[in-house]
Amino acid sequence: MDPRDDWPALGRLIEEARDRLKISQNEVASRVEMTGTRWRQIVKGDADLMHSIRGLRTLAKMAEVVGLSPQQVGEVGRADVAAEMRPSGHAEETHEDDEKRRTLPAVLREAAEDQELTADERELSDNGGDKRNTA
């Protein structure tokens, strides 16, 4: 008998998907900013968050990080969690998440713009505020 037989269906589905990816619980938990202990509690159904809004969002992120689709989550009876998932398989991101995912070229472009502004400000101060007064 598989010890997962007593787990909630969604917990089993998430863990089976994680196993297929060959990722440790600790590694996948860190991807959704939780501890491996918390991850294990949730998939086993030991955590009392399964029906709160925050809990639904947490479950949605967990499902997405292991590559599950909203349809797969809905098929195990968790349409409430599936509704919290993005169709593309990515949880709704906050502005902070978006900032973390900015591309390197965008960061470099912004740094260059900041540098240009600093150079312009320096030129203005060197010329007494008149940019035309360059010698």
Q: What is the pLDDT of residue 115?
A: 58
Q: What is the pLDDT of residue 133?
A: 52
More confident residue, 31 or 3: 31
> What radius of gyration do the chain's Cα atoms show?
24
Name, in order, each residue with C-beta under 8 angstroms of 85's C-beta and a sequence gap of 6 or more.
Answer: 60, 63, 64, 69, 70, 73, 91
Global pTM? 0.60
Q: What is the pLDDT of residue 54?
A: 84
Could you read off the pLDDT of 78-94 as tens digits, one per residue?
Answer: 999 999 997 654 444 44
DSSP state of 78: -
Least confident range from 6-20, 38-52, 91-105, 111-125: namely 91-105
Do residues 76 and 13 lie in contact, with contact meaning Cβ atoms separated by under 8 Å? yes
Report d(CA 82, CA 21) in Å as an integer.
Answer: 21
Could you read off the pLDDT of 15-73 as tens digits, one per residue?
Answer: 999 999 999 999 999 999 999 999 999 998 887 765 678 888 899 999 999 999 999 99
Q: Tell me the one-letter amino acid at 60.
A: A
Give the residue carrying structure tokens 């472009």.
109
DSSP state of 93: P
Provide the 3-class DSSP secondary structure of residue 91. strand
Q: Which of 83, 97, 84 is nearest to 32 (CA)?
A: 97
Provide the 3-class DSSP secondary structure of residue 109. helix
